[in-house]
């Protein structure tokens, strides 16, 4: 495969079509990640990942310490949950998650000591199976936002001919800078993680992808790619044009290898594994220390936040407490999001716990929260130009309104990853992602008949 | 703690591009202004009277039609203004104002609103209105005023394409006059320079893609080059004559009535070009742009069905079958 080389840095093998230019708003890029003081209590839901929920393994009154297992399941697609503070379990019951669903949760009252659990020890990793077992035990889920259990991703059959590991440092969502900070602050962990994964899982090449609007991260990652460990020059850095959604999994695979993931398939089906840069760094830290995923970095920003910050918080910390730590609200908030503004979730209040996969907490005042009014579609086609998946959103809306599952299938709605490019571009202000979800629901319903 | 009742909860994305329908329509209006200015200079102040009549009637009909149909008011999106302007550009300057007003009513009420309003019409409102007027009031619609004659006495003339086609014995305007628009014809179609400036503005503002105009004009150029036995002058008159530039930049690119995807746009543009040439060369009409675009408008759904894009990663059937065969 022909690749253009620019002093050792790769360009995209095949450029991503579509997408949109969004304002970056990376206001917190220079904000070093600060630790938040230990919260008085944490609420740790048993469902913080895609897959089966965990069952609590502690009961009210139990003393727990940081890193102690508090929830697990024997289902494969799932990730165990650990205590994020030391203290006493004061409740085990149902709580509402940010997305509105209910989940069992363990509430721990903190003793303020952040005592590490004595059972923590670095895992022994000698074989590929050891590594996958260790990753599962660490409770790691994709830290980029989707929350897919990482060990499932890494546990591909050996005969599947997986040759490429793509490390995603694109961070194409506006506002969020935690991956960028990870590159700058934890570069040794990333370095260790990259070579560990490459050697243990036998990837033929590792491609680290970053957008061209992050020069500092670029320097760090370039050093990692050029490191002397890399005797056969199998680790390379790829620079991508900064546009949304460069960081989407299928887009990453296309940029790095020119391969297209077919509808309904995974990157592994075309020989690739895509991992978020923070997840890679975490694996290296876990192998070194044995401390499971109990805290995570968040970008706290938006027009209604008084002091935008990057903070590291224990999983399960109350969102209201985090905003309080960032100086509270500067203006009356009108919309609060977990995640970025393009794919993030608008939440109904601040009395919710932070989950493992949340990478940002954004609060907007009325001026930024109220979107332009909805008008009639003028068929300008900007949604179709913006769609990285080559779909025709305006036609999908029509087919969904007509409740025509046959037409929806023809239009390929299930390929839609809800990146929001279409709705962003729409001059008529149509909530197209909402329509896409509706269209998928119609098709699913038809499938269930 | 924040009370949920005060928070807006909506589906992602939570950011939107700044462009709105109104801004797009405003851009089209801005792009039409050079041609309007040129028209006033060439055909005199009556241009303004005709344009004002079509624009005001268009906006009023839209307002009334929406009201009667109990739908929300849409005159704020400025699309009716655009329709009015383009219709005026397609009329001779001498047209009685009441006829121009009827044209606007047909465009807005029958073609646009009766089919559901903006984005829903299957044919270009201004084109249908023009054809309607041409059929209803043939004489008034083909009475051409000589350029720059408004200061003295309005003199009638023939259009350059009629002269080229041998229907009139008048002298042809020079190519420079053609470029500047000093020739007989509809109000807004004569000044090639102004139309090209407007077209470039629309392309630069990304309101339209250059694909339709280029495919359209390019096809006409190629066909006319062959038909005219490689007489470049003949090609130049064909490109600048009639309503080709107005049609290619402002009418064939109408969102509602042209395809969305780029390869379908090219097919649409080529189709417009071929039909224009066929009409100009073989039909009894010297002018083919309106009919060509109208016919292609009707074919848009079929072009889009045939050329439907494949969703990302879809393996082409032939290829996968070939691979399967290989595997066997």
Same domain, A165 and A283: yes
**Residue A355 corresponds to which tokens in the numbers above?**
């989950």
Reported as a single tens digit per residue, the pLDDT across A331-384 is 999 999 999 999 999 999 999 999 999 999 999 999 888 888 899 999 999 999
Q: Name the residue facing B77 among A20, A375, A437 (closest C-beta).
A: A375
Write out chain A residues lying below 8 Å of B15, CB-based: 22-23, 174, 341-342, 424
Instruction: Say yes or no for a CB contact (<8 Å) between A333 and B7.
Output: yes
Tell me which H or E stretch contains A410.
Answer: helix A405-411
3-state helix, strand, coil in chain A (%, to 5): 30, 25, 45
Contacts of A393 in chain B (CB under 8 A): none
Looking at residue B326, its pLDDT comes to: 56
Query: pLDDT tens across A163-211, in order?
Result: 999 999 999 999 999 999 999 999 999 999 999 999 889 899 999 999 9
Which chain B residue is nearest to residue A392, measuring alpha carbons? B309
In this predicted model, what pLDDT tens digit does every residue of A242-283 receive, in sequence order?
999 999 999 999 999 999 999 989 999 999 999 999 999 999
- Domain assignment present for residue B142? The answer is yes
Chain A 250-309, residues with CB within 8 Å of chain B CB atoms: 250, 260-263, 265
CA-derived radius of gyration, chain B: 22
Q: Quick one: DSSP state of residue A334?
A: E
- Give the residue from A97, A340, A381 with the most B CB atoms within 10 Å of its CB, the best one to mutate: A381
Inter-residue contact A223 to A187 (CB < 8 Å): yes
- Which of B11, B20, B74 has the CB atom closest to A431's CB atom? B11
Contact of B45 with chain A, judged by CB distance below 8 Å, is answered with no
Q: Is residue A376 part of a domain?
A: no
Query: Are A427 and B13 within 8 A, CB to CB?
Result: no
User: How many C-beta neighbours within 10 Å does residue B326 have?
Assistant: 7
State residue B269's pLDDT score: 97
Together in a domain, A62 and A130: no
Phi, psi (deg, nearest 5) at residue A431: -80, 75
Yes or no: say if A154 and A273 are a contact pair by the CB < 8 Å rule: yes
Structure tokens at A422: 């279409």
Q: B78 to chain A nearest CA, in Å? A: 12
Task: Round to whole Å and give the CA distance between B256 and B302.
Answer: 14
Contact across the interface for B311 and A390, Cβ inside 8 Å: yes
d(C-alpha B250, C-alpha B28), whole Å: 8
| A343 and A279 inside one domain | no
Dist. CA B312–CA B190, nearest whole Å: 44
With contact defined as beta carbons under 8 Å apart, do A139 and A72 qualify? Answer: no
Helices B125-136 + B79-89 axis angle, to 10? 40
* In a shared domain, residues A110 and A209: no
Minimum distance, in Å, between the CA of residue B163 and any CA atom of chain A: 38
Same domain (yes/no): A284, A298: no
What percent of chain A has a predicted confidence (pLDDT) above 90? 74
Domain total of chain B: 1
Q: What is the mean pLDDT of residues A215-231?
A: 83
Asked if A374 has any chain B CB less than 8 Å from its own CB, the reply is: no
Q: Give the strand order in the sheet containing A69-72.
A: A55-56, A69-72, A81-82
- Each of the 328 residues of chain B gets a pLDDT tens digit; together they read 555 567 889 999 999 999 999 999 999 999 999 999 999 999 999 999 999 999 999 999 999 999 999 999 999 999 999 999 999 999 999 999 999 999 999 999 999 999 999 999 999 999 999 999 999 998 999 888 888 888 777 778 888 888 888 777 788 899 999 999 999 999 999 999 999 999 999 999 999 999 999 999 999 999 999 999 999 999 999 999 999 999 999 999 999 999 999 999 999 999 999 999 999 999 877 678 999 999 999 999 999 999 988 899 887 665 555 555 555 5
Which helix (H) or strand (E) segment holds residue A69: the answer is: strand A69-72
Q: Does a structural domain hold residue A106?
A: yes
**Is the same domain home to A325 and A348?**
yes
Alpha helix segments (H runs only) across A160-270? 178-185, 187-201, 215-225, 249-257
Neighbours of B320 (CB within 10 A): 12
User: Is A174 an interface residue toward B (CB < 8 Å)?
Assistant: yes
pLDDT tens figures, A237-249: 999 999 999 999 9
Tell me the CATH number at B36: 1.10.3430
Which of B117, B311, B319, B323 would you mutate first to test chain A, the one with the most A CBs within 10 A? B311
3-state secondary structure of A188: helix
Our CA dihedral for B253, B259, B261, B265, rounded to 10 degrees, sits at -60
If you search the block for the tokens 């599947």, which residue do you land on? A160
CB-based contact B1 A350, cutoff 8 Å: yes
Q: Is residue B262 part of a domain?
A: yes
* Residue B184, in any domain of the structure: yes
Of A368, A400, A416, which one is at a domain's C-terminal end?
A368
DSSP result, B49-66: HHHHHHHHHHHHHHHHHH
Helix count and strand count (H, E) for chain B: 15, 2
What's CA A38's distance to the chain center, in Å?
24
Q: Name the DSSP class of B247.
A: I
Query: Are A428 and B74 a contacting pair at CB < 8 A?
Result: no
Q: Are residues A159 and A239 in the same domain?
A: yes
In angstroms, how far is CA A304 from the centroid of its own chain? Answer: 23
Residue at which a domain ends, from A268, A289, A310:
A289
Query: Which residues of chain B neighbour A388 with C-beta distances below 8 Å?
Result: 312
For residues A422-438, average pLDDT:
95
What residue spans of B228-261 are helical by DSSP H? 232-240, 244-246
Q: How many domains does chain A have?
A: 3
Give B109's DSSP letter. I
Give chain A positions within 8 Å (CB) of B255: 378-381
Considering A264, A289, A314, which residue would you say is the last residue of a domain? A289
CB A253 within 8 Å of CB A8 = no
| Residues of A (334-353) whose Cβ lies below 8 Å from B | 334-337, 341-351
Task: Answer whether residue A373 is part of any domain.
Answer: no
> For residue B324, what pLDDT is reported?
56
Q: Could you give the CA distance from residue B236 to residue B217 in angstroms, rounded to a whole number? A: 11
pLDDT over 80 (residue A390): yes
Among A268, A361, A293, A367, which residue's Cα sits nearest to residue A138?
Answer: A293
Partner A contacted by B312 (CB < 8 A)? yes
CA-CA distance, A93 to A45, in Å (whole number)?
9
Judge whether B310 lies within some domain. Answer: no
* Greater model confidence, B59 or A6: B59
- The more confident residue out of A144 and B58 is B58
Q: What is the CA radius of gyration of chain A?
A: 22
Helices (H), A333-404: 366-369, 382-386, 393-401
Q: How far apart are CA B59 and CA A126, in angstroms?
A: 76
Domain containing A350 equals 33-120+292-368
CB B74 within 8 A of CB A376: yes
Token pair in block for residue A5:
């080389």
Does residue A353 sit in the same domain as residue A342?
Answer: yes
Asked, for residue B1, whether it belongs to a domain, the answer is no
3-state secondary structure of B258: coil
Question: Does the CB of B79 have a partner CB in chain A at under 8 Å?
Answer: yes
- What's chain A's average pLDDT? 91
Which residues in chain A touch residue B112, judged by CB atoms under 8 angstroms apart?
none
Which of A268, A266, A265, A278 has the alpha carbon at shortest distance from A33? A278
State the average pLDDT over residues A47-59: 92
Note whether A164 and A257 are same-domain residues: yes
Helix-strand-coil percent breakdown of chain B, rounded to 5? 65, 0, 35
**Sorting pLDDT into bands at 50, 70 and 90, what band is A1?**
very low
Q: CB contact, 8 Å: B94 with chain A?
A: no
Inter-chain touch B314–A263, beta carbons under 8 Å: yes
What is the CB neighbour count within 10 angstroms for residue B295?
A: 16
Examine residue A377 and state whether it is found in any structural domain, yes or no: no
Which of A343, A349, A384 has its CB closest to that of B13?
Answer: A343
Per the listing, tokens 């080059």 go with B225
Q: Does the CB of B10 have a partner CB in chain A at under 8 Å?
A: yes
Position of tokens 């009827």? B102
| Cα A234 from Cα A230, distance rounded (Å) | 6
- Shortest Cα distance from A213 to chain B (angstroms)? 20
Task: State how far the Cα of B9 lies from the Cα of A364, in Å rounded to an integer.
Answer: 12
Closest approach of B59 to chain A, Cα-based (Å): 17
Distance CA A232, CA A236 (A): 11
Residues A132 and A259 in one domain: yes
Instruction: Measure the CA–CA gap between A269 and A260, rounded to whole angstroms.
Output: 10
Residue A55: strand pairing partners: A72
**Nearest-Cα residue of chain B relative to residue A17:** B312
**A153 contacts A273 by C-beta, under 8 angstroms:** yes
* Residue in B2, B117, B308 closest to A376 by CB: B117
Domain identity same for A133 and A235: yes
| Residue B3 within any structural domain of the chain | no
DSSP A290: -
- Say yes or no for a CB contact (<8 Å) between A375 and B20: yes
Residues in chain B within 8 Å Cβ distance of A348: 4, 7, 9
Q: Please give the structure tokens belonging to residue A95.
A: 């709580």
Show the domain range for B267.
21-305
Confidence of residue A7 (pLDDT cuts 50, 70, 90): low
Quick: pLDDT tens for B42-62.
999 999 999 999 999 999 999
Residue A24 in contact with partner chain B when CB distance is under 8 A:
no
What's this model's pTM, rounded to 2 decimal places?
Answer: 0.91
Q: Identify the three-state secondary structure at position A56.
A: strand
Q: Is the bond preceding A245 in cis, omega lying within 30 degrees of 0? A: yes
Residue with token string 């003295």: B152
- Return the minimum-mean-pLDDT range out of A7-11, A74-78, A176-180, A220-224: A7-11
Size of interface A-B (CB pairs under 8 A): 164
Residue of A nearest to B72 (CA): A375
Res. A3 pLDDT band, cuts 50 70 90: very low
With beta carbons under 8 A apart, name residues in chain A contacting B7.
Answer: 333-336, 346-349
How far, in Å, are A22, A362, B56, B143 from residue B138 at the CA level?
A: 52, 64, 24, 9
Q: Are residues A329 and A437 in the same domain?
A: no
């Amino acid at each position: 495969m022909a690749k253009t080389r620019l002093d050792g840095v790769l360009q995209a093998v095949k450029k991503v079509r579509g997408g949109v230019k969004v304002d970056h708003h990376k206001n917190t890029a220079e904000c070093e990640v600060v630790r938040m003081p230990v919260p008085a209590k944490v609420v740790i839901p048993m469902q913080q990942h895609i897959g089966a929920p965990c069952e609590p393994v502690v009961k009210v009154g139990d003393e727990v310490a940081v890193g102690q297992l508090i929830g697990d399941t024997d289902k494969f697609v799932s990730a165990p949950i650990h205590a994020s503070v030391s203290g006493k379990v004061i409740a085990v019951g149902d709580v509402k998650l940010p997305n509105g669903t209910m989940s069992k949760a363990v509430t721990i009252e903190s003793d303020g000591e952040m005592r590490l659990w004595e059972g923590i020890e670095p895992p022994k990793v000698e074989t590929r199976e050891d590594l996958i077992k260790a990753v599962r035990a660490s409770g790691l889920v994709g830290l980029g936002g989707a929350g897919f259990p990482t060990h499932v991703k890494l546990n591909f059959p050996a005969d599947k001919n997986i040759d490429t590991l793509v490390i995603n440092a694109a961070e194409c969502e506006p506002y969020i800078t935690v991956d960028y900070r990870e590159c700058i602050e934890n570069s040794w962990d990333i370095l260790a993680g990259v070579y560990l994964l490459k050697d243990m899982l036998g990837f033929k090449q590792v491609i680290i992808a970053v957008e061209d609007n992050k020069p500092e991260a670029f320097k760090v990652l370039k050093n990692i790619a050029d490191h002397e460990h890399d005797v056969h020059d199998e680790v390379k850095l790829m620079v991508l044009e900064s546009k949304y959604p460069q960081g989407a999994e299928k887009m990453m695979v296309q940029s790095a290898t020119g391969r297209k993931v077919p509808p309904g398939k995974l990157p592994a089906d075309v020989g690739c594994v895509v991992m978020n840069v923070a997840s890679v760094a975490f694996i290296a830290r876990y192998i070194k220390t044995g401390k499971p995923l109990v805290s995570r970095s968040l970008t706290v920003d938006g027009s209604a936040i008084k002091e935008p910050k990057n903070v590291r918080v224990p999983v399960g910390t109350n969102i209201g407490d985090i905003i309080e730590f960032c100086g509270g609200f500067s203006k009356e908030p009108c919309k609060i999001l977990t995640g970025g503004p393009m794919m993030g979730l608008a939440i109904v209040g601040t009395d919710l716990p932070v989950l493992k996969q949340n990478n940002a907490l954004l609060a907007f005042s009325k001026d930024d929260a109220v979107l332009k009014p909805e008008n009639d579609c003028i068929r300008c086609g900007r949604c179709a130009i913006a769609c990285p998946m080559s779909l025709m959103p305006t036609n999908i809306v029509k087919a969904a309104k007509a409740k025509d599952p046959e037409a929806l299938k023809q239009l390929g709605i299930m390929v839609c990853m809800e990146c929001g490019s279409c709705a962003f571009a729409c001059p008529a202000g149509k909530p197209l992602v909402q329509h896409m979800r509706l269209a998928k629901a119609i098709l699913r319903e038809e499938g269930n008949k | 703690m924040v009370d949920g009742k005060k928070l807006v909860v909506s589906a992602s994305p939570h950011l939107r591009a700044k462009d709105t329908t109104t801004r797009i329509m405003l851009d089209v209006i801005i792009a039409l202004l050079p041609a309007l200015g040129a028209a006033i200079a060439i055909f005199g102040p009556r241009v303004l009277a005709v344009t004002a009549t079509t624009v005001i009637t268009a906006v009023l009909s839209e307002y009334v039609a929406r009201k009667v149909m109990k739908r929300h008011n849409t005159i704020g999106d400025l699309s009716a203004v655009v329709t009015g302007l383009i219709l005026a550009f397609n009329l001779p300057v001498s047209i009685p104002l009441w006829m121009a007003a009827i044209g606007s009513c047909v465009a807005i009420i029958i073609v646009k609103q009766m089919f559901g309003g903006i984005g829903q019409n299957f044919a270009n409102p201004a084109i249908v209105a023009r054809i309607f007027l041409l059929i209803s009031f043939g004489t008034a619609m083909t009475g051409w005023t000589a350029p720059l004659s408004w200061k003295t006495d309005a003199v009638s003339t023939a259009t350059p394409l009629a002269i080229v086609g041998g229907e009139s014995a008048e002298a042809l305007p020079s190519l420079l006059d053609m470029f500047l628009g000093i020739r007989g014809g509809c109000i807004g179609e004569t000044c090639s320079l102004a139309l090209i400036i407007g077209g470039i503005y629309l392309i630069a503002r990304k309101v339209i893609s250059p694909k339709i105009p280029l495919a359209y004009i390019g096809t006409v150029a190629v066909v006319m080059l062959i038909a005219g036995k490689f007489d470049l002058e003949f090609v130049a008159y064909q490109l600048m004559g009639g309503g080709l530039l107005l049609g290619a930049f402002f009418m064939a690119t109408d969102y509602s009535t042209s395809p969305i995807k780029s390869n379908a746009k090219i097919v649409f543009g080529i189709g417009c070009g071929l039909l224009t040439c066929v009409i100009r060369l073989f039909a009894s009409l010297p002018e083919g742009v309106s009919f060509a675009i109208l016919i292609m408008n009707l074919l848009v759904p079929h072009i889009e069905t045939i050329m439907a894009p494949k969703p990302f990663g879809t393996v082409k059937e032939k290829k996968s079958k070939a691979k399967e065969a290989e595997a066997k």
